[in-house]
Structure 1
Amino acid sequence: MNANYSLVKGNIGMLISMPHNGQQIPEAIADTMTTSARRVVDTDWYMDKLYDFATAMGIYTLNPTYSRYVIDLNRNPNGEALYIGENNTELCPTTAFDLSPLYLKNQQPTPEEVARRVKQYWQPYHQVLTETLALLKQQYGKVVLLDAHSILSHVPRFFDGQLPDFNFGTADGKSCDSVLLNNIRALDLSPYSCAFNGRFKGGYITRAYGKPTDNIHAIQLELSQHTYMNEPSNQYNQQKAAQVKQHLKKFVTCLADFAQR
Structure 2
Amino acid sequence: MTPVEITRGDGPVVLGLPHTGTHVPGAMMADLNARGRRLDDTDWHIERLYDGLLPGATSVRATFHRYVIDANRDPSGASLYPGQNTTGLVPLTNFDGNAIWDRPPDEAAIDARRRSFHAPYHAALAAELERVRARHGVAILYDCHSIRSEIPFLFDGTLPDFSIGTNLGETCDPAIEHAVHRICAKAEGYTSVLNGRFKGGWTTRHYGRPQKGLHAIQMELAQSSYLGAEAAPWPYEARKADRLRAHLARILTTLSDLAPSLPKHSGDRA
Tell me the distance in 2 between the aligned counterparts of 1:75 and 1:257: 30
Match of 2:106 in 1: 110
Query: Percent identity at matched positions?
Result: 36
Listed one character per residue, the Cα deviations across residues 53-99 of structure 1 (whole Å, up to 9, x for unaligned) are 24x51000111111000000000010000001111101000111122
Q: Answer yes or no: is the 8 Å Cα contact 1:12–1:260 preserved in 2.
A: no
Q: Tell me which residue corresponds to 1:166.
A: 162
Which blocks of at least 5 consecutive residues in structure 2 are unaligned? Answer: 262-270
Is 1:88 the counterpart of 2:86 in the alignment? yes
Counting matched residue pairs gives: 257
1:106-133 C-alpha deviation (Å, 9 max, x unpaired): x111011110000000000000111111
Counterpart CA distance in 2 for 1:192 and 1:87 is: 26
What amino acid is aligned across from residue 37 of structure 2 in structure 1?
Answer: R
**Does the 8 Å CA contact 2:147/2:220 hold for their aligned counterparts?**
yes
Q: Which secondary structure does the structure 2 equivalent of 1:92 belong to?
A: coil
Structure 2 CA distance for aligned equivalents of residues 228 and 142 of structure 1: 31
Structure 1, unaligned runs of 5 or more: none
- The 2-side partners of 1:244 and 1:90 are apart by 30
Distance 1:248 1:215 in 2: 23
**Mapped contact 1:25–1:38 kept (Cα < 8 A):** no
| 3-state SS of 1:202 partner | coil
TM-score, structure 2 normalization: 0.93
**Alignment of 1:5 onto 2:4:** yes
Residue 185 of structure 1, CA deviation: 2.7
TM-score, length of structure 1 as denominator length: 0.96
Q: Which residue of 1 aligns with 2:28?
A: 29
Distance in 2, matches of 1:251 and 1:102, equals: 36
Residue equivalent to 1:78:
76
Spell out, residue by residue over 1:142-186, the C-alpha distance to the aligned partner (whole angstroms, 9 max, x if none): 110000000000010111110000000001000000111122233
Q: Could you say what secondary structure the match of 1:31 adopts?
A: helix
Task: Determine the C-alpha separation between the residues in 2 that align with 1:189 and 1:208.
Answer: 29
The alignment's C-alpha RMSD in Å is: 1.1
Mean Cα displacement is larger for which, 177-186 or 193-202?
Answer: 177-186
Q: Which one-letter code corresponds to 2:166 in the other structure?
A: T
Shift of 1:259: 2.2
Please list the CA deviations of residues 182-238 of structure 1 after superposition, one character each: whole Å capped at 9, or x if unmatched. 222332222211100000000000000000011111000000000000232211111
The C-alpha deviation readout for 1:1-41, integer Å capped at 9, x for no partner, is x7111100101111000100001100010111112211211
Secondary structure of 1:186's match?
helix
Q: Which amino acid aligns with 2:12?
A: G
- Distance across 2 between alignment mates of 1:260 and 1:3: 34
Match runs of 1:104-183 below 5 Å: 104=102, 107-183=103-179
8 Å Cα contact 1:152/1:231 also seen in 2: no
Aligned to 1:246: 246
In 1, distance between residues paired with 2:164 and 2:50?
16
Counterpart of 1:48, as a letter, is E
- 3-state SS of the aligned residue for 1:61? strand
- Residues 146, 218 of structure 1: 8 Å contact kept: yes
